[in-house]
Structure 1
Amino acid sequence: MRTQRISFVNRQGERLAARLELPEDERPLAYAIFAHCFTCTKDLTAVVQISRALSSRRIAVLRFDFSGLGESEGEFSATTFSSEVTDVLAAARYLEESYQAPQLLIGHSLGGAAVLAAAAEIPSVRGVVSIAAPFRPAHLRGLLGASAARIEKEGEATVEIAGRSFTIRKELLEDLEAQQPEVTLQRLNAALLVLHSPKDEIVPISNAAEIYRAAQHPKSFVSLDPADHLMSEHRDSRYAGELIAAWAGRYLSQSEPELLTAEPAPRLDNRVTAHTFAGAFRTEIFANGYPLVADEPLSYGGGNEGPSPYEYLLAALGACTGMTVQMYAKRKGWPLEEAVVRLSHRKVHADDCRDCPEPGAKIDLIERELELIGELDEDQRQRLVEIAEHCPVHRTITGEVRVTTRLKEETGASGGEGAQEK
């Protein structure tokens, strides 16, 4: 995926900082907006993980900091629930003017309540996702504890939230109380996906049940057990991202005929790309528009979340072998129904290797078993085995291969608007 630094202006004239997560070739099928939780930022681990999971499925995601938070301008103490809703609307307007109107809104915690409230004001929206969201925005008052009474009495107060100090004014509490979630959900003219964990100790899962009951169909609910409220475990946020992408595919316009027949836009980059992040071997691969995942087994320190690099090598050889023999059989008019290729890889001692740099060295041995299903005679079968030896990938890995490596030049180092991050 590619990450672009962008910014846009909200209704108050404040510049809000954002990141746009794009598929590697920058040809998304649809655009989404992600609204983070109260006092969080666009860079919360769960927000980043979910956004990148969606971008790997060709859904671009705009994640931004609400006014007064993260890198955005504005004074947090002036924030109200309604101002967060207007920030979502500003993000939607920016996408519509600069890229494409958003079809999907995603919100976490209070951000979930905000996107539910904003959805009716964005005609292009076809799907809304609430993650660990409160049914009533006023639920936040209860989380403030004794500070809520002090805010009402004194007009404002400084409270500690997750180890940070925030000034909250009475206007926020009054605005939260004024919200009518039943009316908001009845106005929702889009499909709804409710995600919530029964282990959530900040916003109990009963809130998800109320959201689901109040909304009209089409609606879906999926449990995020065993995730916590912030989905601090990477596997939980990645799971949520994959769920959202799979669910959204049914409602987004990416399957409409006019998109399928449209003239393809020139690609920025059609190479295979692999992104390996710090802390693990899990690697996200983007190949010709298709997302893949590679990893190592648990015994090698990996998470076992995908095939290993060597298994992908065997997969490439197996696929090429099957395609090659099928192509040859079709050209000859032979009744080959199926070609099944089974492969394994191991290191073996190379006693007879004249080019080995030292005695006792090992070489790579790939063993390939070819099963040919169909009414073929013995001569045809033997000929197809010979053809298998000449598949392009076979010739590549057994021929002379040179791999050159260069360091990509840094671009956008100043971090200005439009700069790219990897």
Structure 2
Amino acid sequence: MALRPIPDADADLSDSGFSGSVRDLVAAAAAMRKAGRAPGVLIGHSLGGAAALAAAGEIPEIAAVATIAAPMDADHVKHLLVGSLDEVIARGEAEVSIGGRPFTIRRWFVADLSAQDQESRIGDLRRALLILHSPQDATVGIDNATRIFVAARHPKSFVSLDGADHLLTSPKDVQYVAEIVETWASRYLPSGAPLRSDSQSGFVSVEETGEGAFQVEVTAAAARFVADEPVDVGGLGSGPTPYDLLAVGLGACTAMTLRLYARGKELGLDAVKVKVGHSRTAEGTDLFVRRVELEGDLSPEQRTRLIEIAERCPVHRTLEKGAAIETAAGEEPKAAVEQATQHARDMEQACGREG
């Protein structure tokens, strides 16, 4: 579950207050629990990190918390109000600049911050903790990360975001943080659905999420992700499009087929990379453009043969020949009897063991 680092520029920072943000997190977790998808990890940036630390103890399913540029104390925000705190107290509110953005701060918001006891919460957290912070953070100093780390119990980890600013305005910093958190969090999340077995049909499940006009959640074997349409056609752009997924199927099947062939022939194929794009021709027909990159100690003849094998992959043949589609309401289509193991047999046939 992710928290926004800082509200939008035109938002009111004191709309809900720190306590309100914590209540919102607990309520969101309760809604997810009711839907059968209780969160296992909380991730928060800046004051959102402090809220994640405060809320985690009230959400029993949370196994781990990651904070990014988080203050040790919610009260830490008051140091950003230098020159404005007297105005807040006297007038009841004032506009301040945080990270170069204007926010309205109200008197009750300041009082709410002062009432928080983060050190006790962190000491009693009893969840795995990952702290990410930049030594160059000019908004929330690195000493906050030190204090959080000292207050927390093991297991706890710290990652220095050297060179990053508070808002992670560099895309490289964002990518780095995402990769670190993803790898770390995987240790504390369930492994997901079991991989397909011979008895499974190969069905995928697609269900609307209610977000945006087109977003759907896809469940396939052990994977779960969202698919969507681009922003320019009314979607959120939050995931691959349906045609992207078709291209993925072709690319994945190509790589797997080539690997199966190379292993059977004991070729020196080190790696396969397949890129697939979709477009439509002037005549209105669909065109999938596939580029296959082969790495390894391969002769020109072997490379040529592998490209020929790529043309035999089962998904390639399906797209070329077309497929019948059977649709039924409220019951499993008869195609359920075609199990995932058939695809493996198709790939072996495509490889042409005799060739």
TM over 0.5: yes
2:46 and 2:54 mapped to 1: Cα distance? 13
Q: 2:4 aligns with which of 36, 42, 51?
A: 36
One of 249, 252, 260 as aligned partner of 2:194: 260
For residue 227 of structure 1, report the CA deviation from its aligned partner: 1.4
Unaligned runs of 5+ in 2: 207-217, 233-237, 274-289, 323-355
Q: Is the 8 A contact 1:156 1:167 kept in 2?
A: yes
Q: Against the structure 1 CA distance between its residues 370 and 194, is the aligned structure 2 distance closer, same or farther, given a 3 Å change threshold?
A: closer
Partner AA of 2:310 in structure 1 = V
Report the CA distance shift for 1:235/1:93 in structure 2 as closer, same or farther (over 3 A).
Answer: same
Amino acid at match of 2:268: V
- Give the distance between the partners of 2:83 and 2:293, measured in 1 at CA: 70
Q: Does 1:151 align with 2:88?
A: yes
Distance (Å, rounded) in 1 between the aligned partners of 2:294 and 2:181: 39
Asked whether the 8 Å contact 1:342–1:370 carries over to 2, the reply is yes
Taking structure 1 as reference, are residues 125 and 318 closer, same or farther at Cα in structure 2, changes over 3 Å only? closer
For residues 268-308 of structure 1, the C-alpha deviation after alignment (integer angstroms, 9 at most, x for no partner) is 25699899999xxxxx9979xxx9xx9xxxxxxxxxxxxxx
Change (3 A) 1:387 1:164: closer
Query: What residue number does 1:171 align with?
Result: 108
1:113 maps to which residue?
50
Deviations 1:61-100 (A, max 9, x none): xxxxxxxx86xxxx75453211111111111112112341
TM-score (norm 2): 0.62
Offset from partner CA, 1:346-380 (integer Å, 9 cap, x none): xxxxxxxxxxxxxxxxxx998979869xxxxxxxx
1:340 aligns with 2:274: no
Matches of 2:28 and 2:107, distance apart in 1: 26
Partner of 1:21: none
* Higher strand residue share: 1
Sequence identity (%): 35
CA contact (8 A) 2:294 2:303 kept: no
The change in CA–CA distance for 1:272 and 1:317 in structure 2 (over 3 A counts) is farther
Tell me the amino acid that sits aligned with residue 221 of structure 1.
F
SS in structure 1 of the partner of residue 32 of structure 2: helix
Give the one of 123, 135, 142 matched to 1:198. 135
Q: 1:373-407 CA deviation, whole Å, 9 max, x = no partner?
A: xxxxxxxxxxx9799569641446999x8699xxx
Aligned-pair CA distance for 1:159: 3.0
Residue of structure 2 aligned with 1:228, choices 156, 165, 186: 165
Amino acid at match of 2:53: L
Question: 1:186 Cα deviation (Å)?
Answer: 1.3
1:156-185 deviations in Å (ceiling 9; x for gaps): 223344665533222211221222221010
Distance 1:167 1:386 in 2: 64
1:230-379 correspondence to structure 2 within 5 Å: 230-254=167-191, 259-260=193-194, 266-268=204-206, 320-327=257-264, 338-341=266-269
Which residue is equivalent to 1:183? 120
Could you say which residue in structure 2 is the equivalent of 1:97?
A: 34
SS in 1 for 2:103: strand
For the residue of structure 2 that corresponds to 1:130, the secondary structure is strand
Question: Does the C-alpha gap of structure 1 residues 157 and 398 become closer, same or farther in structure 2, counting only changes over 3 Å?
Answer: closer
* CA shift in 2, pair 1:265/1:388, >3 Å: closer
User: Which ranges of structure 1 fall in alignment gaps of 5 or more residues?
Assistant: 1-32, 45-68, 279-283, 295-311, 330-337, 346-363, 373-383, 405-422
Q: What is the aligned counterpart of 1:84 among 3, 10, 21? A: 21
Question: Which of the pair has the greater relative contact order for Cα pairs under 8 Å at 6+ separation?
Answer: 1
How has the CA–CA distance of structure 1 residues 272 and 137 changed in structure 2, closer, same or farther, with 3 Å as cutoff? closer
SS at match of 2:114: helix
- What is the deviation of 1:342? 6.5
* Aligned CA distance change for structure 1 residues 368 and 250 (closer, same or farther; 3 Å): closer
* Aligned residue pairs, count: 273
Alpha-carbon distance between aligned partners in 2 of 1:111 and 1:81, rounded to the nearest angstrom: 9
Instruction: Give, in whole Å, the separation in 2 of the partners of 1:367 and 1:143.
Output: 53
Contact 1:274 1:285 in 2 (8 A): yes
Q: 1:368 to 1:34 in 2, by over 3 A?
A: closer
- Against the structure 1 CA distance between its residues 272 and 320, is the aligned structure 2 distance closer, same or farther, given a 3 Å change threshold? farther
Write out aligned runs for 1:12-23 (5 A).
Answer: none
Give the conservation status (yes or no) of the 8 Å contact 2:84–2:96. yes
